[in-house]
Structure 1
Amino acid sequence: MTAQLMRLSDLEPRTAGPPPVEVLAATKMFGNGVRALEPIDLTIEEGEFVTLLGPSGCGKSTLLKMIADLITPTSGGLRWWGGDYGHVGEPGKKLVFVFQDATLMPWARVRANVRLPLDLAGVPRAEADARVDPALALVGLGGFDHCYPRQLSGGMQMRVSIARALVTEPNLLLMDEPFGALDEITRNKLDQDLLDLWFAKKLTVVFVTHSIYEAVFLSTRVVVMAARPGRVLREVRIDAPYPRDDAFRVSQAFAAYARELQVLLAEASTAGTPQP
């Protein structure tokens, strides 16, 4: 990543095309009658790093899975790059999802785990293998391709999961609290590495977390959600320059953003209404 400080105005928009994601008054009610999401309107612009932040049960993961087309809205709809989900996968319109757990195949080596989506897509083995090494290098795991998951730490396993996503050369990266189970030192390091990847690969990222500090460090914009029913309470733009490093974590600007989000989270935790 370049050492020159860049403001959000320097980063956005990266193209003049349609936004990668538009959520249009989308709702979700599950079969047990729980209203998981009230009408949500949300646009994710090209090149943004948007974090969904809120208390447990506010629908962050439900919304993220809806963006991934893993869950269908009860009403309303979504658009991906200006069209329906059938266009996802075309050049410039590739989407990948990174889950909370690394979800690796324990019987397979790192190389086979990373290569899996290419194998499933029918990519010839030689071409697929040629794409694995750069993906592993991007996450700092060059030379670990012959290891089994059990031989790796939790943080390294998550790096393998991210490499598996990157090997498909995505444009939109969806991440559901991928570092939540890791210790703080490992988590901070992976947050920094993720920002480097976002910047270097010109990705658009939607990221779910419960951590205020992680949200401030990573995001161009934080969407604060409230529960019962799930809905957007407020959006906060983190207008701090990139690259961000440990100095930003102890800055007055960081503390001010963290305080603002803390107040909003307290509001979100008491803003619920009883379910019918």
Structure 2
Amino acid sequence: MTIDIDPTTAAARPDTAAAAASPPVIAVRGAEKRFASGTQALAPVTLDIRAGEFVSLIGPSGCGKTTLLKLMAKLTEPTGGSLRWWGGPFDQVGKPDRRLAFVFQEPTLMPWARVAANVRLPLDFAGTDRRQAERRVAEALAQVELTAAARQYPRQLSGGMRMRVSIARALVTEPDLLLMDEPFGALDEFTRNRLDEDLARLSWQQRLTTVFVTHSLYEAVFLSSRVVVLAARPGRVHATFDVPEPYPRTEAFRTSDRFALMCRDLSLLLTDASVASRA
């Protein structure tokens, strides 16, 4: 089920037309997940994530959003079906133009290390040349507007700033695919809206393919080129919802009639998904 809302004036995210003819960045084919307890978290899910898309996963509690995201990151294995990354197995991830980064719900920063050292951590693990690493850290901090905080410690930062550090740590690896597990859920609405605007801009500028888990339908509409609505017990794709709005997105979109209409329609789909979850 797909809802399209007046695409006549919509601008595509970068390279989405060309991406339609190439293998998906992630191809999920009948992937399911059953835990050792016997609980089936995901029924067979088939889903394509195309280059340049910003896809949000949304649905009622227990619908398997985080489980599906972890399958995409290969942080857990499916108990059925398969996944492909850029048309091949996961062992090619990390090669040029095929880099993946994951942002967790919590910033998980090292409290004893300064901001710059926290951001540099994945480059240290990779053995990146120190001069190159420092350049990339400076670029990543500039992208999230934290250059002035480079020598501060996490305890000196607000919750929103700590999350920016976590995002910078993902960006420093120069990813092509960014997976984010509800990173702004614990923040106040003002900070969350600001970070949503920054993320939409960064994803668009960096030509990232992004998969984003959220419980907020407003956040999903604001950020996404496509929203995947999941139903629960077991988790499964209930509907997809296209958001054909130009990027970058600003407060003007959030306060527009178009935004209100899309939020209303997505809310109806979420209601349907909740009913399906109880059936």
Q: TM-score range by the shorter chain?
A: over 0.9
1-side partners of 2:144 and 2:51: how far apart? 23
2:3 aligned partner: none
Residue equivalent to 1:257:
262
Instruction: Calculate the TM-score normalised by the size of structure 2.
Output: 0.94
Cα shift readout 1:113-138 (whole Å, capped 9, x = no counterpart) = 00000000111222211210000000
Q: What amino acid is aligned across from residue 149 of structure 1 in structure 2?
A: P
**2-structure distance, mates of 1:108, 1:10:** 36
> Cα 1:134–1:259, aligned 2, differ >3 Å: closer, same or farther?
same
Q: Is the 8 A contact 1:13 1:45 kept in 2?
A: no
Are the aligned partners of 1:13 and 1:47 in contact in 2 as well (CA < 8 Å)?
no
Aligned to 1:13: 17
Q: Given residue 16 of structure 2, which amino acid in structure 1 is its aligned partner?
A: E
What is the letter of the counterpart of residue 211 of structure 1? S
1:187 corresponds to 2:180: no
**What is the CA-CA distance between 1:9 and the residue it aligns to?**
7.3
1:26-47 deviation line (CA, Å, top 9, x unaligned): 0000011111000000000000
TM-score (structure 1 length as normaliser): 0.95
Counterpart AA for 2:135 = A
User: Are the structure 2 counterparts of residues 17 and 148 from structure 1 closer, same or farther at C-alpha, using a change threshold of 3 Å?
Assistant: same
The amino acid across from 2:52 in the alignment is: G
1:31, 1:253 → 2: CA distance?
45
1:160–1:24 distance in 2 versus 1, CA, 3 Å = same
Aligned partners of 1:12, 1:81: CA distance in 2, in Å?
A: 15
The letter for the 2-side match of 1:24 is R
Map 1:229-244 → 2, pairs under 5 A? 229-244=234-249
Name the CA distance, whole Å, in 2 between partners of 1:235 and 1:117.
34
Q: Distance in 1 between matches of 2:277 and 2:265?
A: 20
Match of 1:169 in 2: 174
Q: 2:153 aligns with which of 148, 154, 157?
A: 148
Cα pair 1:114 1:164 within 8 Å, conserved: yes
Question: What is the distance in 2 between the residues matched to 1:47 and 1:101?
Answer: 25
SS in 2 for 1:181: coil
* Aligned counterpart for 1:73 among listed residues 78, 87, 93: 78
SS of corresponding position for 1:271: helix
Name the structure 1 match of 2:57. 52
2:229 aligned with 1:227: no
Contact 2:11 2:246 in 1 (8 A): yes
Q: Tell me, what secondary structure is at the counterpart of 1:206?
A: strand
Q: CA deviation at 1:11?
A: 5.0
Which residues of structure 2 form unaligned runs of 5+? Answer: 1-8
- Return the match for 2:132 from 127, 135, 143: 127
Deviation at 1:272, TM superposition (A): 2.2
CA RMSD of aligned residues (A): 1.4
Check 1:105–1:9 CA distance in 2 against 1; reply closer, same or farther (3 A cut): closer
| Contact 1:175–1:208 under 8 Å retained in 2 | yes
Give the distance between the partners of 1:59 and 1:9, measured in 2 at CA. 27
Query: For the residues of structure 2 that align with 1:68 and 1:83, how far apart are their CA atoms?
Result: 14
Query: In structure 1, the residue corresponding to 2:147 is in which secondary structure?
Result: coil
1:259-274 correspondence runs (5 A):
259-272=264-277
Judge conservation of contact 1:229–1:273 (CA < 8 Å) in 2.
no
1:90 aligns with 2:95: yes
Q: Distance in 2 between matches of 1:192 and 1:160?
A: 16
DSSP-derived class of the 1:13 partner: helix
Aligned to 1:116: 121
1:247–1:66 Cα change, 3 Å:
same
- Size of the aligned set, in residue pairs, is 270
Change (3 A) 1:75 1:151: same
Q: Distance in 2 between matches of 1:32 and 1:129?
A: 46
Structure 1, gaps ≥5 residues long: none
CA distance in structure 2 between the aligned counterparts of 1:266 and 1:115, rounded to whole angstroms: 43
Look up the equivalent residue of 2:90 and give its one-letter code. Y
